[in-house]
Structure 1
Amino acid sequence: MRGEELYSVILGNIHEGVYFVDTERKITFWNKGAERITGYLETEVLGKFCYENILKHVNQQGIHLCLQGCPLHQTLIDGQDREALVYLHHKNGHRVSVKVKTIPMCEGDTIVGAVELFNDNSEREELENNLENLKVLAMKDQLTNLANRRYTEIFLNSKMQELDKLGIPFGIVFMDIDRFKVFNDTYGHEIGDAVLKMVSKTIGGSLRSTDLIGRWGGEEFIAIFSGVDEKQLWDLSEKMRMLVENSTLDVEGESLYVSISLGATVVVEPSDLDSVVKRADDLMYESKAKGRNRTSIG
């Protein structure tokens, strides 16, 4: 196989879209990647001129590039490589986001044509969106939609670093739904899950933008409040307790009331994660021992 034939076979079968035009902008080559991305077969475009607006390229401002501002045309004029993000018109009618690169073809110092390579950018965008969604899912508790334990620990460690490096204190509140086992045993796990969701939405609605509430496990939750003193932490804790106390879940005509017990502490000196959580957890059990539905702070 001669060199030109080999190159033609390789370019014809690569994943990216590739097409050539001559100096009159007539399409002389159209590969399988271009067919896949645009929906147009080679037989439908060869011999046509790109300025006939086959692909109807537009930019993000809606300018029709095939009629004005075409990067391929500009490359034919000045011999400069170009890259652009454009939207082509698929044969089926929808728009496809593509990243294009135009390169001049020369014989000596004379431009004899140009090549455009393009990738389906929407595939990349979809992949990036999917990866981002997976990251979000990996950090969220699927039942309550709060931060999961893993992300709560990451956030808590970041607050410890802020305290260590910048001296910014933070508050941590450990919460537990009172007599949660009774709800599961009496009404079943489906109602138990509904209680968890109700409590999660209620306490989550009291957040400031700098704060975080996560599900620690089971019916336990942890809230982390940035830059608070003990009085502010007490007020935030009591707000959550009061909101939960005044929430109800209606089950077959019966209104179910729940409450939470809280343990709150302000962290003002560098420490490790386990000791900070244990301190708040111990205070939460102090609230349980004193009759539940209350906040203990220390």
Structure 2
Amino acid sequence: MSLVRARTRASPQELKLCGAVPIGVVESAMSGMPSAEVFQVIVDRIDSGVYALDLEGKITYWNYGAEKISGFLSQEVLGRACRDSILVEYDDHNPVICVHHCPLEGVRHGARQEVVTYLRHRSGHVVPVRLWTMALKNRAGDIVGAVKVFSEKIAVPEFRDEKSRAAVEDLDAETGVPSRVSTEAFLREQVEACATQGAVCGIIAIRLASFEDFRHAHGMEAGSAIIREVARTLKDMVRRSDMVGRWSSDGFLGILPGCGIEPLGRVAARMKTVASRVAIPWWGDRLSLNVSAKITMIERGDTLEAMEERLRAAEEEPAQAAKSTGA
């Protein structure tokens, strides 16, 4: 289905407000009074994801941006229901939006919605996005479906100073995040900053539960695939000044300079919740693992051994609680 076969609220003006279409493109097209075909070309080619659903939740349109962000090609999704584990959406209040709080319910009454949420990529990792949902109307003004526009919320983080940037050049071959050597070097910098300047720094230990059992059951390749996708998910959840690096065969260490104990707990809970949603496609199935998260703060006179001992003894951070929305 072409987006322009129906009179949709997703006009160039609204797509511009959503940040989907570059301002220059919209103003140039608008000044020339673009035809439906010109508008279609614009929407087809923008980097932001745009897709349309009918009232039964079947996908009727899927643009280049949706392919780029989600990893799913249009031929894989057109005609399928959005609930068919194609593009699973999460937010902090609803573990799976499509099941517990379908956005189509809101647009049936003409409401426009905007949320910050997470989409599960075709390869299995979880991508943070900003998502807009708008009503799709026919020429008679009847609602015939919905249009969703989404864009990646957080870019791959970059470190601020050259010293830290040089450290990440030593990447772990399996996951693509900083290696144990790089992570340990960055951690020692923060221990020194705490000792000499009184700087605050929080530590999160993230571990894949029963990872070795998973490898034995599904093979080394499956194990490498899932830990790689967990790493991709975690590194997109931290600030530019932070680091998430490989720490062990089944775990990572998050190092968050300037982060106090209360926000550290919230970040750890969110990491646990989101990383546990990673699910890799494997021989027609989806494989996932539970993830644990423990926290500690760097203390004056600390050693790596003392921090590891505190982390082993620490209680696991609970997953971020799902709040009731009345749905």
> How high is the TM-score relative to the length of structure 1?
0.49
More helix by percentage: 1
| Structure showing greater relative contact order (alpha-carbon pairs closer than 8 Å, 6 or more residues apart) | 2
Greater C-alpha radius of gyration: 1
